[in-house]
Amino acid sequence: MQVSEMFCRNENGKSGFNVNLMPVNKIYRHLLDNKNRYLHLYGGAGSGKSFFSAQKFILRSMLEERHRILLVRKVARTIRHSQFGLIKSLLYSSGLSEHFKINDADLRMCSLYNGNEFLSAGLDDREKLKSIFGITSIWIEEATELDYADFNQLDLRLRGRTKNYKQIILTYNPVNSFHWLNTKHFKDSFKLKTTYKDNEHIDDEYINVLNNLKEQDEEYYNIYALGEWGVLKNVIYKPFEILNAYPLCFDETIYGLDFGYNNQTALVEVNIKDNVFYLIELIYQCGLTNSDLINKMKSLQIKKGSYIYCDSAESNRIEELKRAGFNVFPADKSVKDGIDYLKTCNIKSRPENSGINKEVLSYCYKQDKDGNLFDEPIKFNDHLMDAIRYAIFSHCRKRREANIRLL
Ligand SMILES: Nc1ncnc2c1ncn2[C@@H]1O[C@H](COP(=O)(O)OP(=O)(O)O)[C@@H](O)[C@H]1O
Ligand SMILES: [Mg+2]
């Protein structure tokens, strides 16, 4: 695409970026021009917060000069599959990718058209963060992951003279009403609460999932569907300890697989050493058909002969995987026993497991409006949690049974 094609005249006859290249949800449009220092985009799941933030920063990077936009999360390695991945895919889908030099290794993007840059840093890498100068705006994704000191540190980095307005966009779900994001006062800020109803591009399946939360747990529904501040109660697991490095070899490797199409398909590798379980998130993706899944699993070089425990409700899909040469078994799906068993296990995660690390924090038991607590988890953002349970619980039960038979 020619650079000139990216611009057009708006109603006032002024030249501006052709936003038709990148349709912005109506509710966010006025924020394209919002210049407050702090722009809070919070609310329910799937409301288009992240999408809009990516769009706004791409547009600013095309229309304004001398930008160094910083993409931040608590853990640096999770940026690849969130802000960086989203901006990159939007650049491709809008035909702008050829105007950017994209450095996947460093999570940087540089505009060949005007030199503007996107840089990434996590709060877990203070040295890198300190070494980045001349920041002109910041996007903090999943801002509830940050503590107030983290935020202040970033805020201080955004000082000094810049050609254009400086803005920190904070995107988050309102998961804890006591959080500093809710309790602290921000001068020069604008807060927009959105829900899936504001996202013109959300699919019906996802709407159903969100609506179903109402019957499962009212508080959860209020947070994730209605985008209201609440407090997540009855969280099932303690967060898995996050290690930067795993052992180099393991006693055994198994896999857990939860099938999805409209929802994510989740495949987790579970490495076992000395009764400790080391998780690797391999697939967490919507829209995979069985043949897509088989191709992906082949390219991931799943260890031949390793047990893969799958969602047993999908016998056709299991059969197809078996025919493709995978060592698949229906999982033991006893939810309560499985969860109780996993609570006794020593499970480790790593920073790259961004889906796992996020799901575990919001994986909760159901509680109805009268306060009755159930043994079942809320069916939402639970695909990786299921896959992990399928692998560990089914395998350990299989091992226990094998031992009993040997006696
Ligand atoms: N402007 C848009 N154009 C096309 N699709 C969009 C747009 N905004 C959101 N979506 C779709 O809606 C989904 C949810 O949006 P997202 O920004 O991830 O929500 P949130 O960050 O609020 O949870 C995205 O994965 C994308 O498929
Ligand atoms: Mg988001």
Q: pLDDT band at 404, cuts 50/70/90?
A: low
Phi-psi sector, 290: left (phi>0), alpha (psi -120 to 50), beta: alpha
Residue keyed to tokens 């992906």: 296
Of 19-28, 194-203, 317-326, the poorest mean pLDDT is in 19-28
Residue 407: the pLDDT is 47
| Residue ranges covered by each domain of the chain | 3-204, 241-406
Residue 301: the pLDDT is 84
Round to whole Å and give the CA distance between 279 and 391: 11
Nearest-CA residue for ligand 1 atom 23 is: 46
Round to whole Å and give the CA distance between 18 and 15: 9
Say if ligand 1 is within 6 A of residue 383 CB.
no
Q: What CATH number does the domain located at 241-406 have?
A: 3.30.420.280
CATH class of 3-204: alpha beta
Query: What would the mean pLDDT of 171-184 be, rounded to a whole number?
Result: 95
Using the atom order of ligand 1, give the atom closest to the CA of residue 54: 17
Question: What are the Cα distances from residue 187, in Å, to 37, 41, 157, 298?
Answer: 8, 16, 17, 52
Per residue in 249-281, pLDDT tens? Answer: 999 999 999 999 888 999 999 999 999 999 999
Nearest-CA residue for ligand 1 atom 6 is: 201
Say if ligand 1 is within 6 A of residue 21 CB.
no
Of 17-21, 49-53, 296-300, 377-381, the poorest mean pLDDT is in 17-21
Average model confidence (pLDDT) for the chain?
92
Q: pLDDT band at 364, cuts 50/70/90?
A: very high
Residue 13: the pLDDT is 67
Burial class of residue 118, CB neighbours in 10 A (0-12, 13-18, 19+): buried
Residue 100: the pLDDT is 95
Residue 378 is encoded by which pair of tokens? Answer: 């809320």
Round to whole Å and give the CA distance between 35 and 8: 22
Per residue in 1-30, pLDDT tens? Answer: 666 677 776 666 666 777 777 899 999 999
Question: What are the Cα distances from residue 320, in Å, to 167, 305, 329, 330, 390?
Answer: 50, 16, 12, 13, 19
Give whichever of 116-120, 124-128, 209-213 has the largest mean pLDDT: 116-120
User: Looking at the predicted structure, is the pLDDT value of residue 187 above 80?
Assistant: yes
State residue 42 phi and psi, 5-degree precision. Answer: -130, 170
140 CA from centroid of ligand 2 (Å): 11
Using the atom order of ligand 1, give the atom closest to the CA of residue 45: 23
Nearest-CA residue for ligand 1 atom 11 is: 201
Task: Tell me the percentage of the chain whose pLDDT exceeds 90.
Answer: 76
Say if ligand 1 is within 6 A of residue 167 CB.
no
Nearest-CA residue for ligand 1 atom 9 is: 48
